[in-house]
Amino acid sequence: MEINMFGKPAIVVVGSINLDLFIEASRFPRAGETFEGDRFFTGGGGKGANQAIAASSLTAPGNVMMVGRVGGDNFGEQLISNFDKYGVLKDRVRVDADRSSGIALIFIDETKENYVLPVYGANTGCDDQQVVDARDAFENATVLLVQQEIPLEVTFAAMNAARVAGVTVVLDPAPVRELPEGFIEAADIVVPNQIEAEAVTGVPVDDVESASEAASALRARGLQAAIIKLGQYGCYVDSAEVVGHVPGFSVEPVATVAAGDAFAGGLAVGISEGMRMQDAVELGNAAGALCVTKLGAQDSMPTRAEVQNLLASTR
């Protein structure tokens, strides 16, 4: 696989960069109660950075670029070093000396479900500079990955610039926010989970049939594809190539943190490599499944060999 050494990535990610603070406990304390947890650890996070590292773990070093901001603190230095570790181009990660780095408190209960409480810090300072940085990186890019953890006007402008440049825009509409008119339509592919799908379509999603209804409603807004993530049950796809349920993979979960980000990274890699939609979605499903078998967010992202082994074992 050819290694990109010249700062011209195939995949550009514009979004958040956080330090995750994980707490594991059998349950949460009640109001006024002190209840002892089981474990604490830290790791790189933020949906943008997670997706960049997920994609980079599945492709050659230098094929993914991160665009965003960290604070001028020790957390920021640690977060930037993570990009080196995983081969993500960091040239356009700016340091905001006036703000702290973004953080997220992540609680993991005994069922391995996660609950996330972020404070976005330097991510809130993203502005026109990030749009310029992204536009400069579009020369050789095929995919832009975006989410909703930095100011929406910045994400919106980056999506519009990508569309002008002929770059496929993949939007993960998380977390749920009040969206400006035309925001969803600025994407080519939208990949919400069940909660986010209901927020953007008004359709409660609790099974494959309702996922089909929500995906159809999204496609009707002019999208190339709508992909509703269904956790362990895979996803529902509505696109020109594929319409239907794509099952997930049976794994033993350790924590569900960043599974959706792993999916987005896998999907982006598949698209950038010219895969059929079915194959790109299966790559994303496999990445998301393997992600939940490990602790952490960025540290849980699988390699291409691990994903290929899972795909081969199920075919």
Concatenate the DSSP letters of all residues of 213-266 into one string. HHHHHHHTTT-SEEEEE-GGG-EEEEESS-EEEE-------S--TTHHHHHHHH
The dihedral through the CA atoms of 28, 32, 38, 40 has a sign that is: positive
Q: What is the mean pLDDT of the chain?
A: 93
pLDDT reading at 199 higher than 80: yes
Which pLDDT score, from 0 to 100, does residue 297 have? 78
pLDDT reading at 301 higher than 50: yes
Instruction: Please give the DSSP secondary-structure letter assigned to residue 170.
Output: E
- What whole-number distance in Å separates Cα of residue 18 and Cα of residue 100? 10
Q: Helix 47-56 vs helix 74-86: angle between axes, to the nearest 10 degrees?
A: 20
Which pLDDT score, from 0 to 100, does residue 138 have? 94
Which pLDDT score, from 0 to 100, does residue 37 have? 94
Q: Helix 47-56 vs helix 259-272: angle between axes, to the nearest 10 degrees?
A: 50
What percent of the chain shows pLDDT beyond 70? 97
- The strand pair at 225-229 and 64-71 is best described as unpaired
Mean pLDDT, residues 153-170 = 98
- Domain architecture of the chain: domains with CATH: 11-27+40-314 (3.40.1190.20)
Backbone angles phi, psi at 76, to 5 degrees: -60, -45
Which pLDDT score, from 0 to 100, does residue 270 have? 97
E strand spans, the chain: 11-14, 18-24, 39-45, 64-71, 89-96, 102-108, 114-119, 143-146, 168-171, 189-190, 225-229, 235-239, 243-246
**Count of Cβ atoms closer than 10 Å to residue 313 Cβ:** 9
pLDDT tens across 219-233, in order?
Answer: 999 999 999 999 999
Q: What's the Cα-to-Cα distance from 105 to each of 46, 234, 301, rounded to whole Å? A: 11, 27, 19
pLDDT reading at 1 higher than 50: no
pLDDT tens across 47-96, in order?
Answer: 999 999 999 999 999 999 999 999 999 999 999 999 999 999 999 999 99
The answer to whether 108 and 255 are in contact (CB under 8 A) is yes
Which pLDDT score, from 0 to 100, does residue 4 have? 41
- What whole-number distance in Å separates Cα of residue 191 and Cα of residue 229? 7
**Count of Cβ atoms closer than 10 Å to residue 1 Cβ:** 9
3-class secondary-structure state, position 112: coil
Name the CA dihedral angle for 254, 257, 258, 259, rounded to a multiple of 10 degrees: 50
What percent of the chain shows pLDDT beyond 90? 83
- What whole-number distance in Å separates Cα of residue 48 and Cα of residue 93? 11
The two tokens of residue 70 are: 């960290």
Instruction: Please give the DSSP secondary-structure letter assigned to residue 294.
Output: S
pLDDT reading at 18 higher than 50: yes
Q: Judge if pTM exceeds 0.75.
A: yes
Q: Which segment of 27-41, 106-120, 239-253, 280-294 scores lowest on mean pLDDT? A: 106-120
Residues acting as catalytic residues: 261
Q: How confident is the model at residue 116 (pLDDT cuts 50, 70, 90)?
A: confident
Position 57, amino acid: S
